């Protein structure tokens, strides 16, 4: 169709679209490109915009990710480091945040290397490829509240700090409780407010006024977090952390850690270990490059931030497979879950200001964008599979949704995806700090569904431990691996 248009027709279209850009022909404009070329260029830009608008969300996201990965891959060969001060295993939220903070503080003083086996995650669903990224402050433990508050502050400054727009949607979080859990929710809200996270307890009457689309039959109270609660673009946060860390000089290398090499240090004695056994320090990482080549990286300090693979990697360091302190495994497992996107044009469905609702039975839902799309799923599960699958939205999720939202029409599911996250089976909380046996191994893993929002605080905490030998901002010492050795769990009641 375009080919058969005359130049005048093209000009008219262009004039309609962009009047300000059409300039009269004159000798003064001799430095301007030829008018036909200029018009075609403008049309091409318009077509590109139309295409971007209609490209489905996930495709757009993959395009961005692919570009990022191309540049990561290009740098591998010339950037490969055989020695470094700090080696970080895992280049997602936590690993990238640790690299960002270490380099921001120490700049040229520390050579920081991040190894990541799969930068793009094109075949797995993670924070890069899914539109997920909830930020909330509704926790019981002060440590989690403080980390969440810092996450919110960091995200507020993401534009200046990282140069990215994390597109924060400040629609809040609403947790519902039955009579049985009402007191716990009240206590949690009290603690949250003491620490500066503003959450409000809502009676059923108030809930009814604020959220008339909710069915409240079995609800005793709700807790709403307005400030610093909402959702953000997880990919932008992650890519921002990575690129800023690179700008500060961190080396991101695509490779998979497959083993460690140890160094015997007979002069080191580890507290709690038999004096007859000699200490073997972690010394080198053996990594497999994307082309299959095996290389090694010698490091002074290693940070384990490998999410769901952390326990497997810990085993390579003999954690959980040897004797003494090393017989205690890293209690992190992989949990799988499903999320669904549905569309509803039911007039009774919740409106644009809908918060992310966390229901009594673990059901959650929130709006996504302005076109009647919602994201939903079940967050709670006591085993690694929670019985959800791509095909059982209708049987498993929909009944709970219809029970909570007074919708008349059945919504249509338009997408479903499986994803996994790391889970600490010991007490559900993150593990941050040095390992009790290895004086050069720091663990930063096990944050359940919160790894991304907590990553700015966790990364900063790891940098404090490595550079200052102590926590300087938020005291996270209760979250160290030591609590597993002495069997002192600290439970959080709020994980989704
Ligand atoms: C669908 C979905 C929704 C989420 N929603 C939220 C949310 O709302 N709020 C929030 O805060 N967080 C959210 N998260 C984050 C998530 O729950 C985790 O807590 C977070 O991803 C943990 O970050 P991490 O960096 O510790 O681990 P991961 O993200 O698991 O990253 C670990 C990295 O280590 C790499 N790795 C593993 N083994 C090796 C090896 N041998 N060699 C080299 N590299 C290796 C992996 O490839 C991986 O990239 C979501 C995640 C998903 C998937």
For the segment 185-191, the average pLDDT, to the nearest whole number, is 96
Interval between CA 127 and ligand 1 midpoint (Å): 7
Is the CB of residue 459 below 6 angstroms from any atom belonging to ligand 1? Answer: no
Q: What share of the chain is helix, strand, coil (3-state, %, to 5)?
A: 40, 25, 40
Q: What distances in angstroms separate CA 453 from CA 27, 153, 187, 261, 450, one per listed residue?
A: 57, 11, 23, 33, 6
pLDDT tens-place string over residues 94-132:
999 999 999 999 999 999 999 999 988 776 767 667 757
The reported pLDDT for the residue numbered 438 is 96
Ligand 1 atom index nearest CA of 417: 1
What atom of ligand 1 comes closest to residue 453's alpha carbon? 11
Q: Given pLDDT bands bounded at 50, 70 and 90, which one contains residue 408? A: confident
- pTM, whole model, 2 decimals? 0.85
In this structure, the residue with its CA closest to atom 4 of ligand 1 is: 132
**Which residue's alpha carbon is at the smallest distance from atom 14 of ligand 1?**
449
Q: What is the pLDDT of residues 367-391, one digit of tens each?
A: 988 889 999 998 765 444 455 666 6
Q: Is 117 in the pocket of ligand 1 (CB under 6 A)?
A: yes
Residue 424 near residue 446, CB atoms below 8 Å: yes
Output the pLDDT for position 495. Answer: 55
Confidence of residue 418 (pLDDT cuts 50, 70, 90): confident
CA 350 to chain centre: 26
Asked if 236 and 60 touch (Cβ cutoff 8 Å), the reply is: no
Distance 343 CA to ligand 1 centre (A): 27
How far apart CA 404 and CA 211 sit, in angstroms, is: 11
Ligand 1 atom 41: residue of nearest CA:
257
CA of 128 from ligand 1 middle (Å) equals 9
> How far apart (Å, rounded) are the C-alpha atoms in residues 128 and 403?
32
* Mean pLDDT (whole number) for 61-68: 51
Q: What pairs with residue 352 in β-bridges? A: none
Q: What is the DSSP string of 271-339?
A: TTS-TTSPEEEEEEEEEE-TTS-EEEEEEEEEEE--GGGHHHHHHHTTTTTSSGGGGSPP-EEEEEEEE
Run of H or E including 421: strand 412-424
pLDDT at 43: 65
Q: Return the residue whose CA atom lies nearest to atom 21 of ligand 1.
A: 451
496 Cβ closer than 6 Å to some ligand 1 atom: no
CA of 307 relative to ligand 1 center, distance in Å: 5
> Distance, CA 421 to ligand 1 centroid (Å)?
6
Find out whether the beta carbon of 449 lies less than 6 Å from any atom of ligand 1: yes
Residue from 91, 101, 119, 127 whose mutation best tests the ligand 1 pocket (most atoms within 8 A of CB): 127
* Top mutation candidate among 93, 118, 335 for ligand 1, by most atoms within 8 Å of CB: 93
C-beta 97 within 6 A of ligand 1: no
- Cα 285 to middle of ligand 1, angstroms: 21
SS3 for 95? helix
Q: For the residues 161-173, what does the mean pLDDT come to?
A: 93
Residue 45 has pLDDT above 60, yes or no: no
């Amino acid at each position: 169709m375009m080919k058969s248009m005359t130049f005048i027709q093209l000009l008219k279209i262009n004039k309609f679209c962009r009047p300000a850009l059409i300039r009269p022909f004159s000798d003064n404009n001799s430095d301007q490109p030829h008018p036909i070329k200029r018009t075609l260029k403008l049309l091409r830009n318009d077509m590109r915009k139309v295409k971007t608008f209609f490209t489905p969300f996930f495709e757009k996201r993959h395009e961005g990710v692919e570009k990022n990965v191309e540049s990561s891959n290009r740098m591998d060969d010339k950037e490969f480091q055989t020695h470094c001060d700090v080696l970080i295993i895992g280049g997602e939220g936590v690993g990238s945040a640790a690299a960002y903070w270490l380099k921001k503080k120490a700049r040229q003083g520390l050579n920081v290397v991040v190894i990541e086996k799969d930068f793009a995650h094109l075949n797995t669903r993670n924070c890069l490829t899914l539109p997920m990224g909830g930020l909330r402050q509704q926790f019981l433990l002060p440590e989690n509240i403080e980390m969440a508050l810092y996450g919110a502050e960091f995200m507020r400054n993401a534009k200046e700090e990282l140069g990215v727009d994390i597109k924060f949607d400040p629609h809040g979080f609403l947790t519902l409780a039955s009579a049985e859990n009402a007191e716990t929710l009240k206590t949690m809200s009290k603690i949250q407010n003491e620490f500066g996270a503003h959450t409000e307890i809502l009676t059923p009457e108030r809930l009814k006024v604020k959220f008339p689309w909710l069915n409240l039959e079995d609800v005793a109270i709700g807790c709403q977090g307005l400030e610093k609660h909402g959702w953000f673009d997880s990919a932008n946060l992650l890519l921002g952390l990575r690129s800023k860390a690179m700008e500060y000089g961190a080396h991101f290398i695509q490779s998979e850690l497959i083993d460690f090499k140890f160094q015997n240090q007979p002069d080191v004695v580890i507290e709690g270990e038999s004096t007859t056994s000699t200490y073997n320090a972690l010394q080198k990482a053996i990594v497999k490059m994307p082309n299959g080549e095996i290389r090694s990286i010698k490091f002074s300090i290693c940070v384990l931030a490998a999410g769901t693979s952390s326990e497997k990697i810990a085993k390579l360091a003999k954690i959980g497979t040897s004797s003494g302190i090393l017989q205690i495994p890293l209690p992190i497992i992989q949990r799988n879950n499903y999320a669904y996107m549905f569309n509803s044009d039911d007039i009774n469905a919740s409106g644009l200001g809908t918060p992310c609702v966390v229901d009594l039975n673990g059901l959650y839902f929130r709006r996504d964008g302005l076109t009647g799309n919602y994201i939903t799923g079940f967050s709670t599960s006591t085993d690694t599979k929670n019985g959800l699958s791509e095909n059982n939205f209708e049987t498993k999720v929909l009944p709970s949704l219809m029970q909570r939202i007074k919708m008349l029409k059945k919504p249509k599911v338009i997408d479903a995806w499986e994803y996994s996250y790391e889970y600490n089976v010991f007490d559900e909380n993150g593990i941050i700090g040095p390992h009790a046996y290895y004086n050069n191994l720091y663990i930063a893993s096990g944050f359940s569904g919160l790894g991304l929002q907590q990553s700015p605080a966790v990364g900063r905490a790891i940098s404090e431990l490595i550079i200052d030998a102590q926590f300087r901002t938020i005291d996270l010492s209760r979250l160290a691996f030591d609590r597993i050795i002495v069997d002192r769990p600290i439970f959080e009641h709020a994980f989704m």
